[in-house]
Amino acid sequence: MNLYQSLPSDLADSVVPASVTPLGAAVLALVRDSAGDRLILAAPNAEALPASFHGEPQAGAGGMAVLVCPRNAANAAALCAALPNLRPEPLGLTASAGCGDRLGLATPGHVRAFHTVAALPGAQPLAAIFAQQSIRENARTGRTPAEVLDDATWGAFEAGWRGAVGADADHLKTTSDIDACVAAGYSFFTFDPGAHVDSAADSDAPAEIERKAAALPWTELESSLADLRARYAGQSVDLGDRRLRLEAESVLRAAAKYGHAIAHVSALYRHLAGLGVPFEVEVSVDETETPTTHAEHIYFASELRRLGVQWVSLAPRYVGRFEKGIDYLGDPSTSSPHGGASQGQALDALRADLAGHAAIARALGPYKLSLHSGSDKFSVYPLIVAATDGCAHLKTAGTSYLEGLRVLARVEPALFRAIAALAGERYPADRATYHVSAELNDWPALAQMDDAELPALLERDMPREILHVTFGSALAQFGGEIKAALVRYRQLYAEVLESHFVRHLAPFARAAP
């Protein structure tokens, strides 16, 4: 059926071509004009229109039935019911990538990047997560889990996504976080027990480690100190390409560090599993102070498994610094962004670290290794893909916001200058909850820069960090203007995102960009 011939001409001119989707005898499409976005359905007769959509019937050409529906939550739900690939579902062990989107405008660009990568020579399947937002980001962006999901659904529909989707309820810390995201229809639940990780255990004296281990919540862990020793101390674990011997001392230290976190993850898992919805779980301890050793990873994963927790991916805290929106920085003791040990040495250390974690994930799972703060870590992607043989998950969040700022720097320099000035003011306070190393003296004197020089700020690490971690302040003050500008320049935003994300995704699809 030709949708364009059946529509009233004013609507036909405004159809977003990529969105045109056949559904039985009917056709769906997004219409976009000065009145905003609407969903239209056209069918040979009214009976052939799917019943679940809410809209105004209109007469189409030649007796065709047309329904014009507002872009709202009810019709997003109808869209997911009619096009099941848009309904979030567990994605399993396929390599995957999650794209956070703080503004709700980035999904069409993300979809374009997935399409482009899938068409590259040698590309392997790469599963997509377009809706992904932490409760912390929701608080800062003033959005609900349902709004995040709906924006991703509309974006995927607009851009003609035909693959499956997951939806990542990221960095969940409590059972009420879980409930809110289950109600909204999420499928991928990232448990963050970071607040229960005792990083001081890395350097505590042996007596203190003994005391901490004895004081663990043994009832919740369904175990005892004697059990722990019997189960792990002195064991040699076969990891396929290597063996790792667990010394009694490092077992106790691992328990002191991660024992409370294990109990917390187990409680979150049982709560989620009791809700009777399809789900998959990621466990992340990436936002903790000190790296997860290989022995600690073995203890952590073995204990979770003993308690019946099943997970599809795990994000240890790897060695070195994973700062927001810039490439890998290596070990803070041997390097700094202002100079220091070579990037090559830092990457060698990370390569060895990843190889061990990947061997554990194969031997105790298999499960995917997850790369959090994965935005712009271009030097890390080939390493994690090689170590895991592609059994990996990439998680990016803030880089789509930064790419939005890149668009503004090009086309709305006055707005960009206002955002940048605010970022300079707010950075000292806003950096508190992030791992960043930019200092305000890294911030250039904007007043002395020409407009044409502004986009290049987005090429430099330290300005990127300052702009990245102040996104909450920027949205609080300029959110309306930022979104309106990116809607005006949505085509450019999608193009900028596409080229930026192809560089993120191609390594995980094992394709050459």
Catalytic residue positions, numbered: 170, 282
Give the number of residues in contact with Zn ion, rule: CB under 5 A: 2
Closest CA to 43 of 55, 84, 16: 55
From 109-117, 148-156, 207-215, 369-377, span contacting Zn ion (CB under 5 A)? 369-377
Cβ distance to Zn ion smaller for residue 191 or 478: 191
Find the length of the chain.
513
Q: Is 395 strand, coil or helix?
A: strand
Q: Cα-flanking dihedrals φ and ψ of residue 315, to 5°?
A: -115, 95
Other Cβ atoms closer than 10 A to 14: 18
| 220-249 positions binding Zn ion, by CB under 5 A | none
Please report how close the Cβ of residue 120 comes to Zn ion at its closest, in angstroms. 28
Coil/strand/helix, residue 466: helix
> Closer CB to Zn ion, residue 150 or residue 192?
192
Nearer to Zn ion, 89 or 286 (CB): 286
Q: Which stretch binds Zn ion (CB under 5 A): 64-72, 345-353, 366-374, 403-411?
A: 366-374
Which amino acid, one-letter code, is at 282? E
Least separation in angstroms between CB 193 and Zn ion: 12
Task: Mark the segment that binds Zn ion (CB under 5 A) among 77-85, 100-108, 367-375, 469-477.
Answer: 367-375
Sign of CA dihedral 207, 208, 211, 212: negative
Smallest gap from residue 44 Cβ to Zn ion (A): 49
Single out the segment in contact with Zn ion by CB under 5 A; choices: 147-155, 200-208, 299-307, 365-373.
Answer: 365-373
Alpha helices in 274-342 (DSSP H): 294-306
Expressed in angstroms, the distance from the first to the final Cα of the chain is: 37
For residue 247, give the 3-state DSSP assignment.
coil
DSSP 464: H
Distance from C-alpha of 509 to C-alpha of 513, rounded to nearest angstrom: 10
Q: Cα–Cα distances in Å, from 55 out to 58, 71, 80? A: 9, 10, 16
Residue 321 is a binding residue for Zn ion (CB under 5 A) = no
By the rule CB under 5 A, 372 interacts with Zn ion: yes
CB of 373 to Zn ion, least distance (A): 6
What's the CA gap between 202 and 253, in Å, rounded?
Answer: 7
**Binding flag, residue 510, Zn ion (CB under 5 A):** no
> Rule CB under 5 A: which of 276-295 touch Zn ion?
286
Name which of 300 and 416 has its Cβ closer to Zn ion: 300
Q: Identify which of residues 158 and 286 has a Cβ nearer to Zn ion in the complex.
A: 286
Looking only at the bridges linking them, the beta strands covering 188-191 and 236-238 are unpaired
Give the nearest distance from C-beta 265 to Zn ion in angstroms. Answer: 15
Half-sphere exposure of 364 (CA within 13 A, CB side): 29
Q: For Zn ion, which residue has the nearest CB?
A: 372
- The Cα–Cα gap between 320 and 341 comes to 12
Judged by CB, which is closer to Zn ion: 177, or 286?
Answer: 286
- Structure token digits, residue 346: 């830092």
The residue range among 58-66, 178-186, 216-224, 371-379 that interacts with Zn ion, by the rule CB under 5 A, is 371-379
Q: Which helix (H) or strand (E) holds 161?
A: none
Q: Please state the closest distance from residue 12 (CB atom) to Zn ion, in A.
A: 45
CB atoms near residue 195 (< 10 Å): 11
Structural contact between residues 193 and 265, judged by C-beta atoms closer than 8 angstroms = yes
Nearest residue (CB) to Zn ion, 87 versus 171: 171
Question: Shortest gap between Cβ of 117 and Zn ion (angstroms)?
Answer: 23
* Contact residues for Zn ion, defined by CB under 5 A: 286, 372
